[in-house]
Structure 1
Amino acid sequence: GLDDIIVGPICDPEAVAAMMAAGVGARIEIGIGNRVAMPRIGISKDPLRLEGVVRVLGDGEYTISGPTYTGMRCFMGRAAVLDTGRARVLVTELPHEPWDLAVFTSVGLDPCACRYLILKSRMYCRPVFEPIARAVVECASRGVTSSDYELFRFEKLARPIYPLQDDILWRPEAVRL
């Protein structure tokens, strides 16, 4: 039941190419994301099927205004925005962290003006986006950057090791520097 959502950035060069070929204003049905299988952690998904209108096509370049990396020039690869009616989804050719509002404003999206902002980020978004948020809801996803260590088979580690083993108590005084 959510609406007025901005989502991104989602890396999917195939989806960007399809939106570029369709052009601004085209209504398309497209699969987005989930194109990289991760068999070592048992993940293989199909792209999310979305229908919408291609609203923006861009070069994916912007300059960070701050508070971190201020002045740095960034390149997300070509970028496209799909408007599903309830959400505007920013899709990029290259993987990219949302380091700045300009990730979105560079393609005509204003994260300060939407009701919900869904970021694909682990932590780099915090200095920029937490100050404009009324609340933050963290979601754990399955993937190679997950904080759920049970997803991974650690086979070549000397044991015991904290926090991979539940029965191990970490004691700072035991650390030798």
Structure 2
Amino acid sequence: VVVSDGGDATTGGAPGDSTFVLSNLLGKNLGGEVLLNIVDPWAVEAAWSASINDVVELELGGKLDPFSKPVRVSGRVLWRGDARYIAMGDVGKGLSVNLGRAVVLAVDDLRILISELPGNPFEPDQYRCVGLEPMRAKAVFVKSITGFKANYEPFAKKIIHADTTGATTHRLKSLNYVKAPRPLYPLDEEFSWKPLVKN
């Protein structure tokens, strides 16, 4: 199952450090390996000196995303290094992708890819370059609204668009617009409108 975390879509301008999904999965019996990623250079720095199989405690995510707060996690370091790859899928083929330094943390069934940079959420190689295989996972979360489909549909049993909070949520009325001119559709639905025609 591939799940779109559309509220935190990094290619749409979200920071990638929302903890909405993470906080809802922690402590649950997931019944298999679940992959998710969080962009958090501060957490990478905090875990960088750890060795493989060390257990680390981190304040993860929620540092840039105004809709979530950091979540304290304790997990085992599975991988750490520079995360880079060449995109091989239909979207962005041949693109050199750099996630910066990255750490993979195992928290029960969760496999959390923590990276300094957002990279390209369309690609399964985002996980493969750090030793995780999306095709073997029970579920894979992607910080993308639609672009991921071309690369994940060939092997996904199901694709789910999760109703997640964040800067790129589809629920536009949940966002606090402070500079938007009003009235503005779809924020305001009841107003009269005439096209402005200039001669």
What TM bracket, shorter-length normalisation? 0.7 to 0.9
Which structure 2 residue ranges, 5 or more long, are not aligned?
A: 1-28
Bigger relative CO (Cα 8 Å, ≥ 6 apart): 2
Change in CA separation of 1:76 and 1:158 when aligned onto 2, cut-off 3 Å: same
Measure, in 2, the Cα distance between the counterparts of 1:47 and 1:107: 23
1:36 aligns with 2:64: yes
Match of 1:60 among 83, 96, 108: 83
- Deviating above 4 A after TM superposition, structure 1's stretches of 4 or more consecutive aligned residues are none
Which residue of structure 2 aligns with residue 102 of structure 1? 125
Measure, in 2, the Cα distance between the counterparts of 1:84 and 1:157: 45
Shift of 1:99: 2.2
> Which aligned pairs between 1:148-163 and structure 2 lie closer than 5 A?
148-150=171-173, 151-153=175-177, 155-157=179-181, 159=183, 161-163=184-186
Which structure 1 residue ranges, 5 or more long, are not aligned?
A: none
Match of 1:81 among 86, 91, 104: 104
Identity, in percent, stands at 28
TM-score normalised to the size of structure 2? 0.74
1:91 aligns with 2:114: yes
The superposition leaves residues 51-79 of structure 1 with CA deviations (integer Å, 9 ceiling, x where unpaired) of 21100012111000111111111101111
Which residue of structure 1 aligns with residue 150 of structure 2? 127
TM-score normalised to the size of structure 1? 0.83
1:11 aligns with 2:34: no
- Aligned Cα RMSD in Å? 2.4
Report which stretch shifted further, 141-150 or 59-68: 141-150
Answer yes or no: is the 8 Å Cα contact 1:3–1:87 preserved in 2. Answer: no
